[in-house]
Chain A
Amino acid sequence: MSRPASTWWGPAGFARRQPVGAVALLILLGILLASLASPVLAPYDPFANDLSNKWAPPTAAHPMGTDQYGRDTYSRLLLGARYSLFLSFSATFLGVTIGAVIGLITAYSRGWFDILVLRIVDVKMAMPGLVFTLLIVAGLGPSLSGVIIALAVGMLARSIRVIRAAALATREMVYVDAARAIGCPDWRIMALHILPACIAPYIILISISIGGAIVAEASLGYLGLGVQPPTPTWGQILNRAQQTFRQNPWVAIFPGLAISLTVFAFNLLGDAIRDHLDPKLRGR
């Protein structure tokens, strides 16, 4: 009896079934490594002014040009990648995980807590997400932690809903009844039986939320409500770029391309992971 060459769940299985997703993953790993290695990779100091060379178009010396202070755009983008990716990853991980825990608890406990949480989630989803995030940023003030908290809270509602639905479905399964019948305590049932069923939706949620988080973080930066200068985040670079685009259009083009490429890759990856993990969609 021969064994399959690669297991369905493994990376090789993923690459074979979702080639587009695998390519997207490679691109993203490249971007991530570049951002982590930015102190080594950046040809110039992102904060170093060089006023004799301001608003330079792309040249061999400065492949993406310079801004109004003569700072190299490519170096600033590399550093900005670190901040933008860090902010988006933290916010997504925080928001989706906390939402998942809440969803798990409400699904298992039912009762007044469940109803209360559900009402709040419904009302929150009636409001435009960015507007709600802006409300939180207004209260917290523009800062690194403010952005992370604001973005994370914005993701709670969807995460609670999805994980709660998955947990509810599992709760009705016969093996949960059986576990309860043999006297298994509630916490153990949640951890051993219900939690594993929620892992796939959890992973899918994270992968489809990161793209939106990056765009949201960039939007906050553009509006001047994110991390404050001189720390370069992609959105914030674009804020300045819009004011000076007549002198140098290039500073406005490259950060946007960077954001679009990263989010596009994440969206492709998210779609691929969802297709890979969600049995209902297989076969479409």
Chain B
Amino acid sequence: MHRYLTKRLLLSIPTIFGLTVLIFFTLRVLPGDVALTILGEDTQVDHQRLLEIRRELGLDQPIYVQYGQWMWSILRLDPGRSFGSDYPIAKRLAAAIPITFNLAVYALILTLIVAIPLGAVSAVHQDSWVDYASRAAALVGLSTPGFWVGIMVIMFLAFYVGWMPQLQLVSFFEDPWKNFTQLFWPALVIAIAQTAVITRMTRSTLLEVLREDYVRTARAKGLRERVVIVRHALKNAMLPVITLIGLEFAGLMNGAVITETVFAVPGLGSTLIQGINAKDFPLIQATVLFIGLIVVLVNLLVDLSYAWLDPRIKYR
């Protein structure tokens, strides 16, 4: 088991390294000059200003020096200051990360509460009206764009309940109920798309598990159907579903970026969009990197949890 854990931990290091390389070089490989983009295409190009911007962003240095400087700043947990506003990026990210984390946890809980029972019922009663209804609902959930669902929710709440997205978010530790009510609706919007995916996955893995021999044995032993499904089938079907949750966490982050913008939640997603609109490249780089790191971390935790969940791993 320890070998498995160490192997997984060590494997994540090249992934993280690769992530920094990918983000760094994507921005630099793209055609077009970053400094020109900042200046804007319509204005007369002021060469002095152009040179100043390039020096400020460090673009006049050789590329490996730029990369080294950036990596060093990341390792020190100080990605520098925003371009233009000089506000320390670390401070901004430190404020945004807990909010996005908060939102993501709510979204994940909402997703799992609905998706796993729905997928299980769908599988157990395959081809019944419940199955068709849930599959249709899942497809609708996948097809509707998240930002539009968010707009519809805001409109509905504004017209019928008089609720507006809050300006000042209350921390979970200050007032858990208020925090939940503030973040419930954005979390719900994110959860809709995720539920669609996880319901489908739960249904298909459970369908496979239900055809296994040990399920037939359990039934032959005379166990009640509910015990067969929950104690034997569902537990084994959960492993691929947990993998999917890990992989879908990336999708959760996608949903968070959009939904935070729709509901004006000041998390990592909003920060990224604001950075892009302000052409604040240091902020953009740092935010994208942290979002990527969070996803890698969650996938790592999922991998590590296998050691606990799947007894077969202990013998590898």
Q: Footprint of B on A, CB under 8 Å?
A: 119-120, 122-124, 126-132, 134-141, 211, 215, 218-219, 222-225, 235, 238, 241-242, 245-246, 249, 252-253, 255-256, 259-260, 263-264, 267-268
Cα–Cα distance between A224 and B15 once the two chains are bound (Å): 32
B151→A129 contact, CB < 8 A: no
User: Do B159 and A249 have beta carbons less than 8 Å apart?
Assistant: yes
* Contact in complex: A128, B254 (CB < 8 Å): yes
B181: interface (CB < 8 Å):
no
Task: Determine the distance from Cα of A246 to Cα of B162 in the docked complex, in whole angstroms.
Answer: 12
Say whether B155 contacts A245, CB under 8 Å. yes
Give Cα A109 to B304, complex, Å. Answer: 34
CA of A84 to CA of B145, assembled, Å: 14
Closest to A253 in B: B152
Please judge, given known A-B contacts A126-B299, A128-B250, A131-B257, whether A256 and B152 are in contact too, CB under 8 Å.
Answer: yes
Q: Which of B140, B142, B146, B272 contacts A131 (CB 8 A)?
A: B272
Complex Cα spacing A211 to B141, Å: 13
Given contacts A130-B257, A139-B30, A252-B155, 7 further A-B contacts (CB under 8 A): A123-B21, A127-B22, A127-B288, A128-B251, A134-B272, A242-B262, A245-B154
Q: Which residues in B have their C-beta under 8 angstroms from that of A241?
A: 151
Bound together, the chains give a CA A162 to CA B26 distance in angstroms of 23
- Chain A residues near B106 (CB-CB < 8 A): none
**Residue numbers in A under 8 Å from B250 (CB-CB):** 126-129
Which positions 254-284 of chain B face chain A at CB distance < 8 Å? 254, 257-258, 261-262, 272-273, 275-277, 279, 281, 284
Known contacts being A219-B147, A238-B151, is A135 close to B295, with CB within 8 Å? no
The answer to whether the Cβ of B144 comes within 8 Å of any Cβ in the partner chain is: yes
* CB nearest to A129 among chain B residues: B254
Q: How far is the CB of B125 from chain A (nearest CB, A)?
A: 17
In the assembled complex, B238 has its CB within 8 A of some CB on chain A: no
Closest to B25 in A: A120
Shortest distance between the CB of B169 and any CB in chain A (Å): 20
Q: Is the CB of A245 within 8 A of B18?
A: no
Query: Which chain B residues border A130 with CB–CB below 8 Å?
Result: 254, 257-258
Name 5 A/B residue pairs within 8 A (Cβ), A-sorted.
A127-B19, A131-B288, A134-B273, A139-B30, A259-B145
The size of the chain B interface, using a CB distance under 8 A, is 52
- In the complex, whether B206 has a CB less than 8 A from a CB of chain A is no
Shortest CB distance B75–A (Å): 18
Chain A residues near B251 (CB-CB < 8 A): 128
Q: Cα distance A124–B292 when bound, in Å?
A: 9
Q: Is B34 an interface residue (CB 8 A)?
A: yes
When chains A and B are docked, how far (Å) is the Cα of A249 from the Cα of B273? 25
CB neighbours of B272 from chain A (8 A): 131, 134
* B258 partner residues in chain A, CB cutoff 8 A: 130, 219, 222-223
Chain B min CB distance to A43 (Å):
25
Known: A134-B272, A211-B143. A119 touches B18 (CB 8 A): yes
Chain A nearest CB, measured from B199 CB (Å): 15
Smallest CB–CB gap between B107 and chain A, Å? Answer: 14
Contact A134 B151 (CB under 8 A): no
Smallest CB gap from B280: residue in A: A138
Interface hits, B1-59 → A, CB 8 Å = 14-15, 18-19, 21-23, 26-27, 30-32, 34, 37, 41
Q: Verify A127–B295 contact, CB threshold 8 A.
A: yes
B143 and A260 contacting across the interface, CB-CB below 8 Å: yes
What residue of chain B has the Cβ atom nearest to residue A257's Cβ?
A: B148
Check if B143 sits within 8 Å of A123, measured CB to CB. no
> B204: nearest residue on chain A (CB-CB)?
A284
Residues of B near A135 (CB, < 8 A) are 23, 26-27, 284, 288
Chain B proximity of A20: nearest CB distance (Å): 10
Minimum C-beta distance from B299 to chain A (A): 7
**Quick one: which of B18, B143, B147, B288 contacts A263, CB cutoff 8 A?**
B143
Docked-complex contact A131 and B291, CB < 8 angstroms: yes
Give the shortest distance, in Å, between B21 (CB) and chain A (any CB).
Answer: 8
> Does B187 touch A at the CB level, under 8 Å?
no
